[in-house]
Structures are given as structure tokens and as C-alpha cells.
Structure 1
């Protein structure tokens, strides 16, 4: 019986090749989108889950009140881990201090690469359950001058040779022995880019200032990770440690109100955003967004199937009447039609897998992922088969119930008529389809408008030809010589040292006082140490006062403030006024236009600039616009190599660094555009099929009208009108719906665009044009048909 159901279904597919193609291809497109989104969501939800202790690992964070607002940060004092171990050691399996994961120069013989790695306390290998391929995970404990390498880094340096006990030089200042090689950490994890690990004690030895700080609790520059003991509750333990820092601060610093808390690993990726000390989500918003989008796109494909199946009901009415008259029960007919829809669904699923294989490379590029089909995972195939069955059931439920309800007597007598309201469900489904499609189009346009809005925001400096390079070696000592040489060679216009890149904040400080300041107000300002030429290099705009100058030795005790700092401090005529920093007086000599350094969607933070008293970490270079960019950059690299041939030269254009700030919004916009195009394509496929069916059903009517003198334009308008009305109704529904949802989304941005009326007009107009183009092909084809042939058809 089941075999005959599928045989009949297969014959119907072959008999109606055009409709079969539309059904299968439409469903396949919808399924492919759903599979891609499903794989992306799986990758997001499984982030960090590869670590066995995933549910017990936490990061120690803190809330602090600065500038009247509560901020949350992952940076901690270097003594945080030791204090927690001392006070609450029995509640933790491990508490580990770590540096930031950043690039270091690793040298072995002639091989020299920049690789990202961290200084970590030795138990990190146990906490992360790292798989050692060679050597011992205890190597970091036994020798302060040791290193653990990831498998990929070990291969890059040593190939197939045994790396154990080989000597590497780190940043041209420390020699370390390879103690072990571990398997590269999973791509979808926080630690995927940790390509080597150095002992925390080595960090302390090469940075002796850490142990000499007068107030070690007053500086936050490291990270603290922990594994909570099995018997402890994370939430309760988080409450218990909240005052661990406050109890160690001197009285005058307690106004920062530091609250220490534990942030579980399962929240790191999708729940990483805090506002006013409250966790407000993060990436989970995108998971919901794309999950709902995937459901909607698949729904569009299912609607196509329903529409075309019910639209062709009269073609199969006699089949139903005959089968009922010879004894077929309604349940058998329902099973027949469900069998057909499930067969179509499985054919579409196979095609969808091929489409996903073709689309994955491009999808991964846009999403910045390394997603692959989980061929060897039984769960994937179980989910896939279940997915195809569910889609087939959902797509076939209405046609099955509708077709099986025909009365055999009326059908066989020829008195069966679908009725005026028979097309109503199809019309409703078309409206739903285009409502979803138009909403996606509007959403895509608003996202891109928001990105453009951020990109066009005044930044307060000139990015053209501006290059940044980090320097962690003795080239600092030769800054003046390098600068002079490059200017003489006309490779650069100017060059400066800075404590932070122009597109980020690496340093911020408190301890500022000024006339009229509320003594209870705790402040924290980005406070960048720069060289005299910083302003000339980046081209900032002086609004009042003057720039730093080598002609004034007193400039070593001066500040330049941005406009936001002046507004926050509230000083009138600020130039010449004094601000005390840690008790030392600094005179304000200039005010500059706000520099857009951090998020382009948030207000610029009150910031200060002072002359650096030590070598800083960043060189900022303004290339000579009269020189070819690549030639000038090659000249810069060659001069840098003169003063440290063993250090790789790695630079980045500030333009590129700034563009990366829009990465998340661009990804959302690109993916939304991709899904919107597919939604319109799927909807248009369904519309094309329906238009073809309507034209076929009205063949005789069209012939009669042509005989009576109707023009092609009259017939085209008659056949197109109903579809345009449906899409017009979709526009009326989607516009307020999209406006409400997008207005809510934009509230997350302090600096945001307006939702312009033309976005709705263009989206609605585009949908109507697509509808006309889709329907017109069938309408004009039918209108041009010879009326004699139309009237002879039966």
C-alpha cells in the first residue's frame, strides 16, 4: 500500500514537471537556509562546550562606578587570584591569573613569527583539560623559563622534528624551553587563538614593576579565571566574593564601589553585555534573530507547496472522486497526499544539502566561522530526517485535508465547484509570504543605513595614510632616529608614539581632581601618553589653546582634553586651568575636537592626553601621500629592520581597524540581505506558479475576451490586478510591523540613524515591481495565445 502511494506520487511529479520543479526547488531553498542557520546556531550554542568543565569554569569580573555610571569589566588587579585562593580556596578547584592573549615574537634559528599567546598560571592545562600530544602539562610548574606550544605552532617551527627541550626566544628578551605540545584548542571557543602558554611567574619576572606597586589593588590589567568546586553553587559563591577587592582598597578609593562577581563560561559568548551592572544579553539576540528568520524562510517555502497543491485541486478532484467511490477511506487519501508531500520534502532535502555544500564557503566568509556539515554526527542525520518529515507534514497538512474532503458524487457529476472562497486561503498565504519578505527587505536596508550612519560620523582626525604598529622591543629606544630617517627618505609625513592605537583605549585612569569637583565622584578617563608629534600625525583639530610643543619644557606637566572631557568637568574657559592627577598639578593647554576612538555607536568618552614619560607600546605613522603606499610601507619596514632584524614588522591601516568596528552590524546586514533575497525568490517562485495556474484556469475566458475585442494590455491588467492587491496588502501590514521591530533594535545604539520614509517606499515599490515582473510573464503569455486554440481546449 505504502509503495503504491509513493508510486502514484512519483507519477504525479513527472506528469507536472513545471509545478514539481517549483515545489522542490522552493522547498530546497527554504530548507537550505534553515540548515545553514541551524548549523550557525549550533556553532553559537556549542561555543566553549568542548571543555569538560564547561559548567564549572568562570571568569572573575567586577562592576565599578565611574563618572556616575556602573561599568563592568573583565580586567582585574594582578593579586586577585591569590586573594581569592587565600580567602575562598576551598570553594574553588583552581583560581588562575592570566595576561591578555596578544601577539609575541617567537624566534627559533632563522624562523621568526608573530603568534598570539598568554602568560598563565600552570594549572590552566588541567582547568581546560588540554590534550597533551608531546611532553608534560606540568612543564610550566617545573621551570619558569618554559613554554607549551599548540600543535600548529610546533609544526610551523619544527616540522616533524621533536620540539621537546628546544629553545625559543620570546620578544627577543627571554629564552624558554619547549616543555610540551598540546592539541589546538577548538575553533569555537574563547581560547581558540591561544597558540602558546608561558608561565605566569615569567611574566612577573620580566615585569618587576608589578610587584613594586604601592597599591596593587588600584590597577586593573590582568584577567582571572577559575573553576568552581563541585560542591559550590556559582551564584552563591559570586555573592560571597563581591567585597574581596573593596576590603583591600584604601578608604579614598572605595568610592569606586568595586563589586567582584563570577561570570560563568556558558555566558561568555552569548551573554557578554552589561548595562549599568546588569547582564543584558549579547550574541543571544542574533541567535534569536536568525533562528526566527530561518523559520520564516522555511515557512515561505511550505506556503508555496500548500498554495500550488490546493490551487491544482480541481485537476485531481476526479481522481479523489473515483477513489472514494470504489471504497477509499478519507484516511487513505490523507495518507496518499501526505506521502506525496513527504516524498517531495525528502527530494528537496537532498537538493538542500547540495545547496548548503555550495553555499558554505561564502557563508563562512560572511559569518566569520568555520562551520562544516556534521557528516559523522548521528544527531545531525536524525535531526535532518526529522526536519524533512516535519517539513513534509507541515507543507502537506492543508492540501491533504482539503483534497480528501471532496464529495465524490459532485465531482463525478461535474457539479463540483471550488467556490468563491476556495482561493481565500491561498490569498492569505500569499499575503503572509510577502509580508515576511518585505519586512526582511526593510530590515536589511535599515541595518545598512545604521552602518553607514556610523561610518559617516565625524571622527575628529584623518585616517588617510595612517598606519599603526605595536612595538614591544628595543626599537623604542631608537624612536627619534627611526622618525628622522623615515622623514629624510620622504616615506612618511610624521610619526608619533602612543599608549593606545587611535581606534582603541588601552589605558584609563582615575585619581583626577579639579576645582568644583564633587569629592564623592569617582572618575575614570582614557588618559593617553603620547609624544609631541601625536596631534600632527593623526591630524586632530585644536578647538582652543595649542598643541604639545618641544619648545615648552613645561609641557611635561600639561593636559590636552577632548570636548567631552570639558563638558563633563564643567570648567568654563578651561585653557590655563589646573587638573590634579594623583596629587600632581597638570595645566590644560588645549582642547581638541572629540576623537572617535571606541564604538561608533556610543558617546565619545571624556579623554585626556599627556606627554609620555616612558616608551609607549604603539607607533603611529602618517605615510607620505606623494609616495606609492606599498613602496612607502616597504621603506618603513626596512628602516625598522635596521634596529631589530629579529622582530617581524606587522602594521595595520587605521582605515581597516576602524572598519572592523562595524563587523557585527555588517555581518547581520549581509546575512539579512542574503535571507531577504532568498525570501523574495521563494515567494516569487510561488507567485509564478500561481499565476501560471490562474492563466491556465481562465484560458477560455481569455479567448472569449480576445474575440470580443480585449487588448493584450486589458488582459494583462485583469490577470495582474489580484496579485498586486495581495502584495499591496502585504506592504500595509509589513510597514508598521517592521517599523516597530527596527525601532526597538535601534534603541540599543546611543548614536543611531532615523528610519526614513523612503526605506518603506523603496521596499514596497520593489515588492510590487517584482510581483509585476513575475506575474507579467504568465499574463502576457496567456494574453498572446491564439483565441481559437483557447476556445477549443477542454
Structure 2
């Protein structure tokens, strides 16, 4: 017969009917169709065929299904295959919708996975040591002058003395700050970075030895342990390096007693060599034997059965018997105590506030973990809004399937399955994007992160993300579509309840609240980082160069200075024992007339040579700089304003001051300047005379615009006077930038995440605008027929969305103020949070939202009303 029944009705039968019953059902319905064609005509016959399919199949589905299908229908292989086909057809039919949906999810997943990889790497730092749970860092807490302070710096002898007093300690080792020394072996000269460490170091920490033994690696004062990299560089192999000699600083020969494997990337301490602890004191560190000085770190390994809390209580008063400045009768006014910090927590918890460990990088880990969840949440909300916006297109499908007996649980399962398939595609796209972005991300964060496909935990994490995201993103569309009433759908009277509209609008508000938080956070972080980078430090770091004084330069310093002062382009020359901006050495061994013997004040100290004020461009408030015209300057001291306040002299110049047992006088008072991080307030500073020290840094101030020529002359003269050492230098402003590397990374990442968050949120807004325009098509048509202008229609549609953005701004502003105020508390010097920051972020969000909504609003307003009203 030339006329055939409607094809889609046959497909409906194939979809729902059991295979062995399909032929019987189709035959019966076809006979009715042939009869109706003859009696009623083709059009009515087709209409009756559709009705017969639905009316015939409904009781069949209800009555026959439980007996014909022993397992749930939606788990039947044929059903699952059909679900998959339907999902693919919907994806292909709605290409632009699918692309936007997948793009939103992929971007959210990309950011979330990148943050997940970064957080995972941060949490693994220093967690590879076998003895890790039993390793602790000794910390020193001081109560003095009404203040509580804490520091990882401890007296140098403590790591040697403390194991003798406490049987709970298995091993103890001191560990110095990093040092850069010149190595000379096999006609190769190079700068290497390393530390001084106690003899038990390799017994405590899991640093594999390729040659040598832990017992002898650092036992002798002239022993040396080097990394595989250095062994290969100087001797060809680790085995060939053992027993060989390396000359250090062109002064002393050390014998390689051990070669250790290159340190893992998840190690917080980076060193290529270790020298014995006994050698630390010998290298011009005579001050180290004084128990009143703090500097190096000390680590202990406790027995596994140790009660840590009880041991810490015994440890607290340990320094009372060693620090000569402590009066045991006056501990109420001054006290000092030891406490422990677990080694595995040091990297993420390194900041101290009021004598307690208060956080550190762990705050960034928590912050970005929350950001990752937020970004993924925004992407899931997008999926909900975009899926709901297209729901009217699939409403008839849901209605027909409900009429023929589909249960709600099966519809929910199908739509969540489709959401999971979309999520799986988005995950694949996200992994491709991550592979592309990882090199730049690693460069930005100073990491070497790779996608860990070989680790089962990563695969399980991806599956978990697919499941959670799929369920979260597909739950609302599934519940919404499955709840639709088939009678209203098939009659064409589908209406959305106010509650559903409110829920969707609430999701948009949540999106923009999160976006506003990120935008405001980015503005505050950027302003703070810019503030600390441009703030007047009290000294001029521009055109200032640091050159390490090593080898022959210290004994030839006078000659070096004379030659350099004659060079063009050089404005001033001085020297310091530490680089300005990195001075942390502290001591309480200072005395003056009228000092309260029960009060101990910690002073930061540094040595310096002539012309310091001129070289640093620090302001002298009173007195003078160190000068060769005054022989008494060898016991002269320059102090800053904070030190003058703590000492209490009204006119400090020529007043007596004893430091480390050297009686002298204060010759100068300089204005406070920042000699350490701006996270910390300026401390009392004592500058002692050090023109003849045989260590430290040469400070060279160049004339503006002549730095390049001055560097060439500096290199020539330094190589002439010090041929055995490579010429090394750093710029003061570059060293200063390193202090705030973490803040710079946070600022950059915050900017990227804020841009992506607002972009993803706008995709959701685009979806809601599409949905609204689709639902109000006939209303817009009637308004235009009655004379409404395009502008009024656009304003009608866009105004509702802008209200949502304004509500989001109102909600996000106080939250952002609170969070960023907490972050700024970590800086002693910080910007105020001004009202214009909120205004700027708000205008930015409103402007972007308006552009997004206007596209759909104008498109709907320009639609021909005849088309929208034709069905009426």
C-alpha cells in the first residue's frame, strides 16, 4: 500500500516493546491502520494509528512488564543502548547548546583539576620520610617586654646538648640556613647551594645514599656529602666521587664521604651538598656557641612510644639552665621556652602570631580548594540552567513516554545518564586543556606537576568527579523534566511554577556571588601586592647591586673599594653581613645604662662598613655614618628608631651600648626601614661595625642609566682580584620580589580564576536568558503587535536579570570584605579596603552581565510577531 503508518510511532513500539512481542503487536495495529485508511482517509488513519499505539501499549507496559522483564527496564541492555542513542541524537541535534554546555563544564573541570593537582602536590611536600611521624622541629618561644614571640631559630649548640638530657630523643641534628659556596674539583669551578647539618641527618631523613654510609657521611669536620648531580658533574659517577677531594671557597679541602640521591620535587629543603655541623662554627661563626643567640634550626626524632605532650612539658624549661641572661627568680617578667612542631606540618604552617603557630601556605591550600569547589559548582549550575532552558524542546518526548508507561525513576536515570555522558566528554576536553596548560601553570607556580595517569587514585578521582558532577549537574533537569504532567504537555499548555523560576534565579545569584567574591579578591590581592612592591621601604632598592664577598675579595676589600670608586657609573660602595631585605639574625645580648635586668629585648643585628647610609640611601636622623676618620667606630653602633624606643634614650647619640660584650657608643640613628618581609613589623635593629669582616656582601649603587657599564667594570675587577671564583651578583629589587613570590602567584591565579568564573557564570546567564525568551515568545509578540518598541522589550527582559546580579553584589560584598580582611591580617603593612573596590567589581559584573543578556534580549525583541503568534 502506498501510504505507511507514522514512522515515529513504529520506532516508539520498537523502543518499548519486548522483541518477541513486537511482530504480533505491529501486525495487529497495522491491520487497524489499513481498515481506517479505506474508511476514513489517510490523515485520520494516521491520527488513529498514533492513538492506538499509545492506548494499546499503556496497559501492556503496566501489566506485562513485570513478568516479561525480570530486571528493571532501564537496566536492560537494549534500553541502555537506546538511551545512549537518544543522548547522542540530542547532542547532535542541538550542537550549539551541547557545545556551550560542554565548554562550561570543561572550563570548570579544568580549573578544578589544576587546583586539585596543585593542592595534592602541596599536601605531599615533606611526607616521604619513613620517620616523618616521629620527626619534630624545635621551636623557641619568648615572653618578654609584654610580648609573646616564636621562632624556629634556636641556639647552635642545642642539637648537640639536648639528646644527652632526654632519653625520648633517638636522634637530633642541627640544620643551617642555605649557603652558596664555590666548589673546585677536576678543573671545574662552580657555585653550589647547600647547608650545614648534624651528623645524624641521614639517619633521621629518608635521603637515599648512593655511596657511603649514614654513620660516616658527616662525622668528620672535613667530610662532605654531595648529590648525584654534583657527583656526576665533577667526577662522572657517584661511585667515582667517594673519597675524592673538593676545594671549597679556594680555602679548605673536603673529602666526599657520601653521595645522596637528588632530592625529590616534594621536598621543601633544596640542597646539593651538606657540610658537617662542626664546620659551621669554624667558618667565622664564633657567636654560635652563645646560648643567647638564635639562628639555625634543630630537628629531633622521638621514639615511637613517646608521649609527645608529656615530653613537650619536660622540654619547655630546658633553656633556663643554659641562657645566662635568665634570672630564674624573675620568670614572671621574662621567660623562654621550647616547644615542638611536627616536621610534616612545617611547610604548610610556618607563620607565627603571638607566640603560636598560626598558619602559612595551608591558608592558600584551603582558599584554592574552596575556589575549585566554587568553580565546579558554577559549571554545574550552568548545566542545570542550560538544560532547563532546553526542557521545552524535550517536554513532548517526556509526555509521550509517560503516557506509554515510563516510570519517573527511569526518566530520572536517563537524564542523569545523559548528564554523566556530557560530563565524561567535558572531562576528556578538560584533560586535553590541562595537558596544554600544565607547562605554563608549572612555570607560574614553580612546580613540576604532571598528570598522574599511572596512579589508581587519580583514575578513581576522575570517576568520582564524573559521578558527582553528573549527578549534581543532571539532578535538577532530571527531576524537573520527569515531574512534568503528560496531559498538559501534549495539550501544549506547559507552564512553569513560580517555585521553579525562583530556584533557577537563585542559582544565577549563587553564580554571581561566587564570581563577585573572586573579582573582589583579585582586586584586593592585586592592590596589596602592588602596595608592597611600590611602598617606600626606607631605602632605595633601585640601581642597587649585591655581590658576595668571597675568596680573595674580603682581604683585598680596601683595594677593591679603591678601584671601584674610580669607575664611572658607580655612585656609592659599602658592605653588609646580610642582604638588606633579608636580615633576621636576633639576639638579646645587649645592655645599656638604666636597663631593667628582668626585661629581655630581642634585637635584630647586622654588621656594615663605611658609607652605609649613602649606599642604601637611608635617612640619618641623628649622628653620623661609620667613617674611617674615627678609629673608635670599631665599637660604634647605629640603631634604628624602634631600637631607640626600646632602649629608652631620649638623645641616643654618644650614649653607651654594650653588644655581645663589646662596650661602645651609639654614633647614629637611622630612620626605620624594612630589612625583612612586610608580613612582619619593623623590629629593633643594631648595626655594628664590620668594615674588616671577611664575609658578607658588597653593596654597589650605580648611577641611573649606567648599570650595564658598571656591571661590566665590576666583573673585570672582581675577576682580576678573585680569579678562582665566578662573578655573581643580584639586583636588590629582584631579591625583594622573591619575598612576595607566593602573593604574586596568588594574585595571578586569582585573576585567571575570576575571569573564568565570570565567563562561566555568563554562560549560565545566557542559558537563563534563552529560557526566558523561549517562554515569553508569545508575550513578546503580543507586546510588539500592540506597539511596544524593541528598546522597551529589551529593557523588560534584561531588567530582570540585572536585578539578580545586583542582589548577588549585595550578598557578596560583606562576605568578600570579611574574607579579604582576614587575609590582610597576615601583613603588618597593608592597604585599606576601600568602597571603590566594591563599586568597580560591581560595575564590572553588571556590565558583563548586561552584554550577555542583551544578545538574547535583542534577538527575542527583533523576532517577527507573526511567527510567534501563528499557532494561536
Q: Same fold (TM over 0.5)?
A: yes
How far is the alpha carbon of 1:774 from its aligned partner?
A: 0.9
Q: Secondary structure at the residue paired with 1:19? A: helix
Deviation readout 1:224-280 (Å, 9 max, x if unpaired): 222111221333222222222212233656665221222211211122222222222
How far is the alpha carbon of 1:574 from its aligned partner?
A: 2.7
1:52 aligns to 2:126 (yes or no): no
Q: Which residue, 476, 480, 487 being the options, matches 1:409?
A: 487
Contact 1:70 1:277 in 2 (8 A): yes
Number of the residue aligned with 1:7: 85
Higher alpha-carbon deviation: 65-74 or 398-407: 65-74
Contact 1:623 1:633 in 2 (8 A): no
How far is the alpha carbon of 1:319 from its aligned partner?
A: 1.0
Q: Which residue, 750, 765, 779 being the options, matches 2:857?
A: 779
Q: Secondary structure at the residue paired with 1:194? A: coil
Number of the residue aligned with 2:217: 140
Q: Secondary structure at the residue paired with 2:618? A: coil
TM norm structure 1: 0.95
Q: Which residue, 524, 527, 537 being the options, matches 1:446?
A: 524
Quote the Cα distance in structure 2 between the aligned partners of 1:96 and 1:79.
Answer: 10
1:101 aligns to 2:178 (yes or no): yes
Number of the residue aligned with 1:341: 419
1:512 aligns to 2:586 (yes or no): no
Change (3 A) 1:137 1:750: closer
TM norm structure 2: 0.86
Change (3 A) 1:611 1:130: closer
Contact 2:389 2:767 in 1 (8 A): no
Quote the Cα distance in structure 2 between the aligned partners of 1:711 and 1:693.
Answer: 21
Quote the Cα distance in structure 2 between the aligned partners of 1:100 and 1:251.
Answer: 25
How far is the alpha carbon of 1:721 from its aligned partner?
A: 1.2
Q: Secondary structure at the residue paired with 1:217? A: coil
1:115 aligns to 2:189 (yes or no): no
Contact 1:314 1:418 in 2 (8 A): no
Q: Which residue, 302, 311, 327 being the options, matches 2:405?
A: 327
Change (3 A) 1:320 1:101: same
Change (3 A) 1:17 1:670: same
Residues 201-240 of structure 1 aligned to structure 2 (within 5 Å): 201-204=278-281, 209=286, 216-240=290-314
Change (3 A) 1:385 1:573: same
Q: Secondary structure at the residue paired with 2:301? A: strand
Quote the Cα distance in structure 2 between the aligned partners of 1:285 and 1:230.
Answer: 30
Higher alpha-carbon deviation: 497-506 or 618-627: 618-627
How far is the alpha carbon of 1:409 from its aligned partner?
A: 2.1
Deviation readout 1:365-408 (Å, 9 max, x if unpaired): 22222222112110011111111111101111111111111122
Change (3 A) 1:123 1:352: same
Contact 1:695 1:782 in 2 (8 A): yes
How far is the alpha carbon of 1:322 from its aligned partner?
A: 0.9
Counting matched residue pairs gives 789
- Unaligned regions of 5+ residues in structure 2, if any? 1-78
Q: Which residue, 710, 713, 719 being the options, matches 1:635?
A: 713
Q: Which residue, 494, 510, 526 being the options, matches 2:604?
A: 526
Deviation readout 1:699-742 (Å, 9 max, x if unpaired): 44434434443333222212211111111111111112212222
Number of the residue aligned with 1:276: 354
Quote the Cα distance in structure 2 between the aligned partners of 1:582 and 1:31.
Answer: 59
Runs of 4+ aligned structure 1 residues displaced above 6 Å come to none
CA-based RMSD: 2.3
Change (3 A) 1:67 1:614: farther
Quote the Cα distance in structure 1 between the aligned partners of 2:699 and 2:357.
Answer: 39
Number of the residue aligned with 1:493: 571
How far is the alpha carbon of 1:136 from its aligned partner?
A: 4.1
Deviation readout 1:12-36 (Å, 9 max, x if unpaired): 1111111111111111111111111
Quote the Cα distance in structure 2 between the aligned partners of 1:100 and 1:624.
Answer: 30
Deviation readout 1:18-70 (Å, 9 max, x if unpaired): 11111111111111111111111111111111111111111222112355422
How far is the alpha carbon of 1:583 from its aligned partner?
A: 5.6
Contact 2:219 2:276 in 1 (8 A): no
Number of the residue aligned with 2:30: none
Quote the Cα distance in structure 2 between the aligned partners of 1:204 and 1:412.
Answer: 90
How far is the alpha carbon of 1:687 from its aligned partner?
A: 1.3
Contact 1:538 1:622 in 2 (8 A): no
1:578 aligns to 2:664 (yes or no): no
1:732 aligns to 2:810 (yes or no): yes
Q: Which residue, 228, 237, 243 being the options, matches 1:165?
A: 243
Quote the Cα distance in structure 2 between the aligned partners of 1:715 and 1:616.
Answer: 81
Q: Secondary structure at the residue paired with 2:88? A: helix
- Unaligned regions of 5+ residues in structure 1, if any? none
Contact 2:553 2:722 in 1 (8 A): yes
Change (3 A) 1:623 1:369: same
How far is the alpha carbon of 1:777 from its aligned partner?
A: 1.8
Contact 1:169 1:176 in 2 (8 A): yes
Quote the Cα distance in structure 1 between the aligned partners of 2:146 and 2:732.
Answer: 32
Number of the residue aligned with 1:183: 261
Number of the residue aligned with 1:460: 538
Residues 35-74 of structure 1 aligned to structure 2 (within 5 Å): 35-74=113-152
Deviation readout 1:274-325 (Å, 9 max, x if unpaired): 2222222222211111111111111000001111222322222211111111
Number of the residue aligned with 2:384: 306
Q: Which residue, 315, 330, 354 being the options, matches 1:241?
A: 315
Structure with larger RCO (C-alpha < 8 A, sep 6+): 1
Q: Secondary structure at the residue paired with 1:463? A: coil
Q: Which residue, 417, 439, 444 being the options, matches 1:366?
A: 444
Deviation readout 1:78-102 (Å, 9 max, x if unpaired): 32122212111x3122112333232
Contact 1:497 1:617 in 2 (8 A): no
Quote the Cα distance in structure 1 between the aligned partners of 2:583 and 2:285.
Answer: 24
Q: Secondary structure at the residue paired with 1:675? A: helix
Quote the Cα distance in structure 1 between the aligned partners of 2:178 and 2:562.
Answer: 33
Contact 1:54 1:266 in 2 (8 A): yes
Residues 530-609 of structure 1 aligned to structure 2 (within 5 Å): 530-582=608-660, 584-609=662-687
